[in-house]
A and B are shown apart, each in its own frame.
Chain A
Amino acid sequence: MSEAVLERSGLSADEPGRWLDDGYERLMAMSWRDCLDVQLRIMQRRFDELVPQVAALEKLARREGITAIASFEDALPLFFDHRVYKSYPLSLIETRDFPRLTSWLNRLTTHDLTQMDLAGLTMIDDWIDRLDAFGMFIGHSTGTTGKLSFIPRSQTELHAFRNCHNEASRASSGVNPWNDPIETFFPGYRYGHQMAIKMVSTFNIPAAGGEAHYHTLYPGRISADLMSLAGRMQAAEDRGELERLGLDPALLKAREELIAQGQRREQDIEAFFNTLFEDFRGQRVKIGGTFGDLIRTARSGIEKGIKPEFAPGSFIGTGGGMKGFKDPPADWESYVKDFFGIETVSMVYGMSEGCGFAPRCSHGYFHTMPHTVPFLFDRDMKLLPREGVQTGRYAFFDLQAETYWGGFISGDQVTIHWEEDCDCGWKGPRVGPTITRFAEMEGGDDKISCAGTAQAYNDFMDFVSQVQ
């Protein structure tokens, strides 16, 4: 049976990381229901190959009593959530205990990291450099919860990752990153191991046509050490004990610079965009940034009477939601387009934990491609039917992950349209148009408790923030 189905999709079960080698068009013309068998076959193979090699997966499978996968449903209890990628004790970061941190990471990958030389390491960034030199491609999270996740990607997945990034960008912007260099502006860090920055610099510098055509707000790299220790450093400073943490003086200096840089950010970003508006007037450009960056730049530009002008074929590449940005214009996209004088806003939906990206179509939906197998769960973590229109917590299996486990449950709440009836013409389950964070709490509570737990604190936040 599977052979016949394989013929139907025409996709090889051996190399899902190469499915995009001939471009996204073929995959977007494929019905996801025709891909189910090849997807399941790959998932089974991943399970069989990874369980003996990835200790965390092996332990989870043993605990769940899962020895084989006969259906997608069988694999769902094995999907990792974000906690697995940050289940190390924070004190390992504080004490920079690289042997134990490495042995923790080693439980998540098929690469034998015990063979790696750890001599002389004092910084997290250097540790990741060392891992990358050993064959990994580690990305960490932004640490908004105070603790960094580390995604155990490796060079093995890099081909697929690049394919996904470039093809999703091409699909959503119409500009070909493989052979059509475009002057690129990104109002953030140039380098760093934070997954989004690392991805952007790795793939966009070549797409821009080289370093000289890639312009960033900050020339340096975002520091994993500072991000991972920000909370503890602040607490120590409050107690007047910052020096007692025994941190590298360079790190303390870097922190001071970061604080100063943060205070200057608004002016810096304005100067950055003004240079772009003046020096690249009339040229074809790609402009990145968060929704907030773009809206703020447009607002202050309009106030000052600035009117940018760029050549046709320019586009804005953005994503990530409002992230607490208050008071955006009702139709912020048109507002930003009008100000920048750029017609195309390219967006993709994806996350650090997966290689795949779903490009946004002309009708505002994010279409997933067959290398990503999407699922939705309800509040009780029951699988929602893969039909019609469903809203729930987004999870996926990334078939392209060969050296780590590709099953992941996100914290996003999304709507998926399973019927392939988008007027844009692309097929595939489509997500959107809006993506929100999945909230465990039912609305409407304002109970107060004297217990100082996060739960109680959150209850209290609800209590004070809800107005009738």
Chain B
Amino acid sequence: MTDTYRIPIISRGRIIQPGEDAVEFKGRGGATFIAPDPHKHVQDLVLGNPVLLSDLQQTPMRDIIDFLAEAGKRLRLEDNPYLQESFALALRAGGLAEPILRGVYDDLPHMFDPVAMFAQIDSTVGVDYLDGWVPSPTGPHCRVRAVGTRQLHITAGNVPVVAALTIVRGALTKSDILIKSPSNDPLTANAIMRTLLEIDASHPVCKHVAVAYWKGGDEFMDQQIVRTSRIDKITAWGGMSSVKHIQKFLSPGIDLTALNPKFSMSVIGKEALESEAAMEEAAMGIAVIAGFYNQTACANTRLVYVESDTDDASLDKLAELGRKVVSAYGQLPPVMSTPFEAPNKDLEAELEAVALEDDFYTVEGDTLTGGVVVSRFPDRVDFYDQLNNRVVNLVPVADLLEVVKWCDDTTQTVGVYPESLRDRLLDPFALAGVQRLVPLQGGDPMHIFRDMHTLPPGMPHDGIEPLRRNVRWVIDHRPLDTAAALDIAAE
């Protein structure tokens, strides 16, 4: 395998290969990347004149979706050399094990499914609003149109779907997007775009995507790009520090969507401890929601609150649930989750330290196979924000409603078992900041996984509707009598 990867800039239908002025940077796993110097290509990355979006605006949604759908057919790992290269690199970066990563790549074509894409944009923005001006039903002298914008996307690289998602969302909102690739996945957005360019580099969708890598925190780049004359919207994956950094360059007129790092959890009712069968079912649910994608995603559970007393008999049952979770990790299919190849040293040290404290904690498993820390009192471990490698903390609480005190805007996904709990928790959790409640029932790993990942198109993301937010809503306000005339004409 080569140690040096060439990463061209994708610039609105053109591929700019690294030439004489190329710069080199280090990636994960000892790989070296060579890319055109982004400092010298700022003009190739940004769209200074927003009126140049008119080609995409005039392209009917149907045509955009057909084009994306055609690309989707070609995004198959087995015969797409660009994807193969990005797959090899992502594998080497080491974030996900081979079978999981393969599964993620195998899912890429589904993201370009035409029916789903249409439903996604129609249920959020409305295709009519993107394709033309829509009169207000209660005041037809005013018409509204959703207009594409110029967007910068600072993407996350832990799961390659972010690259595909960003390209699809950009095209569906008829927007001009600039993707700043992450160093742990510098090629996926690139690979998808090169596939699109091969179909038709002159298609308006291709004319409005730029992809480049530059080092995070490169002030020159941010200062050049983040200007109201060049960017309307920013989507920053990664959170607080991303926002803080970008804020230096923000000014009114640039709308920032911060997709913060998230911290997810599960809540388990006392029924789970009442029978062997229920315990097995809950344990598998926890293992799936904690273990899928090897706990690298925002939706992965790290803390599990269990309705339980703290007497010795109850805690023994909790420990039993913990052992069953560790054993359930071993039953997860490799496409979903795998044991780790190397221990997580910091977390291992935390586990070793609390394992010395029998009075407070019971530790099962480790950072190679996955593990569980059972708190023997109603509080999470103090190192909860380091839980990784399929290690979760089981916390007994007398009343699951108390869990709201640990919820905030970072609490993205909450797994629930059994379903009978849900209605009691739903509204308080929603108010406390939780963004999604998912089921854990069923006992079969693939079934649970599908159940928690099957959403209708166009569902909110992290509590917001990114598509709706990334268009500009424009009013065409005409004289009242014009509207009356139009009405009469229409009759």
Task: Please report A residues at the B interface, Cβ cutoff 8 Å.
Answer: 56, 59-60, 63, 81, 83-84, 86-91, 100, 103-104, 107, 146-147, 381, 440, 444-457, 460-468
Contacts and interface: CB of A to CB of B under 8 A. Distances in A.
Contacts of B388: 453, 455
Nearest to B245: A464
A460 B261 contact: yes
Contacts of A445: 28, 183-184
Interface of B: 25-26, 28, 93, 95, 154-159, 162, 182-185, 215-219, 237-242, 244-245, 259-263, 295-298, 300, 302, 345-346, 349-350, 352-360, 375, 377-379, 381-382, 385-388, 410
Given A453-B386, A457-B241, A464-B241, 10 more contacts: A59-B358, A81-B349, A84-B353, A88-B357, A146-B382, A448-B157, A449-B184, A453-B261, A463-B238, A468-B25
A40 to B, nearest CB: 25
Contacts of B159: 450
A452 B357 contact: no
Given A446-B182, A453-B386, A466 B216 contact: yes
Contact of A457 (B157, B239, B245): B239
Contacts, number: 166
Contact of A451 (B185, B245, B261, B360): B261
A447 B28 contact: yes
A236 to B, nearest CB: 10
A59 B353 CA distance: 11
A457 B385 contact: yes
A8 B457 CA distance: 81
Contacts of A89: 360, 375, 377, 379, 381-382
Contacts of A448: 154-158, 182, 184, 216, 237-238, 242
A440 B245 contact: no
Per CB-CB distance, the 10 closest pairs between chain A and chain B, nearest first, are A447-B184, A452-B261, A83-B353, A463-B216, A449-B158, A452-B263, A450-B298, A446-B216, A91-B379, A454-B385
A394 to B, nearest CB: 16
Nearest to B462: A450
B339 to A, nearest CB: 18
Contact of A467 (B217, B263, B356): B217
A173 to B, nearest CB: 37
Given A90-B382, A91-B377, A450 B262 contact: yes
A104 B93 CA distance: 41
Contact of A466 (B162, B215, B260, B360): B215
Contacts of B345: 381, 440
A464 to B, nearest CB: 4
9 contacts: A81-B353, A83-B352, A103-B359, A450-B158, A450-B261, A451-B263, A463-B183, A463-B238, A464-B244
B360 A450 contact: no
B359 A466 contact: no
A463 B159 CA distance: 17
A447 B182 contact: yes
A420 B35 CA distance: 49
Contacts of B346: 440, 455
A447 B302 contact: no
Nearest to A147: B382
Given A60-B356, A83-B350, A447-B182, A452 B379 contact: no
Contacts of B216: 446, 448, 462-464, 466
Nearest to A443: B26
A74 B296 CA distance: 36
A109 to B, nearest CB: 14
A36 to B, nearest CB: 28
A103 B358 CA distance: 11
B24 to A, nearest CB: 11
A450 B359 contact: no
Contacts of B95: 447, 449
A86 B357 CA distance: 11
Given A447-B183, A450-B238, A457 B261 contact: yes
B156 A449 contact: yes
Contacts of B219: 467
Given A89-B375, A448-B154, A460 B386 contact: no
A453 B352 CA distance: 19
A441 B374 CA distance: 28
A90 B379 contact: yes
Nearest to A446: B216
B217 A452 contact: no
A450 B95 CA distance: 13
Given A447-B182, A453-B388, A104 B298 contact: no
Contacts of B262: 450-452
Nearest to B350: A83
Contacts of B302: 453
Given A107-B356, A448-B184, A455 B215 contact: no
Contacts of A146: 382
Contacts of B354: 87
Nearest to B345: A440
A104 B28 contact: no
Contacts of A90: 379, 382
Contact of A88 (B93, B155, B360): B360
Q: With a 10 A CB-CB cut-off, give which of A444, A445, A450, A453 has the most chain B CB atoms.
A: A450
B73 to A, nearest CB: 28
Contacts of A461: 241
Q: With a 10 A CB-CB cut-off, give which of A84, A451, A452, A454 has the most chain B CB atoms.
A: A451
A81 B346 CA distance: 11
A452 B353 contact: no
B368 to A, nearest CB: 15
Contacts of B162: 450
A195 B41 CA distance: 55
Q: With a 10 A CB-CB cut-off, give which of B159, B296, B357, B375 has the most chain A CB atoms.
A: B357
Contact of A447 (B93, B263, B355): B93
A463 B218 CA distance: 10
A450 B237 contact: yes
Contacts of A465: 217, 241
A460 B157 CA distance: 11
A449 B154 CA distance: 11
A367 B182 CA distance: 45
A64 to B, nearest CB: 10
A295 to B, nearest CB: 27
Contacts of B297: 450-451
Contacts of A81: 349, 353
Contacts of A464: 216-217, 241-242, 244-245
Given A56-B356, A451-B261, A455-B388, A460 B242 contact: yes
B412 to A, nearest CB: 8
B300 A451 contact: yes
A4 to B, nearest CB: 39
A60 B26 CA distance: 40
Q: With a 10 A CB-CB cut-off, give which of A86, A91, A103 has the most chain B CB atoms.
A: A91
A86 B162 CA distance: 39
B300 to A, nearest CB: 7
A59 B361 CA distance: 14
A460 B246 CA distance: 13
Nearest to A108: B356
A465 B244 CA distance: 11
A119 to B, nearest CB: 21
A89 B375 CA distance: 9
Given A63-B355, A89-B375, A460 B385 contact: no
B184 A452 contact: no
A450 B259 contact: yes
Contacts of B25: 444, 468
Nearest to A64: B352
A468 B217 CA distance: 8
B386 A454 contact: yes
Nearest to B293: A451
Contacts of A147: 382
B182 A452 contact: no
B463 to A, nearest CB: 14
A463 B95 CA distance: 16
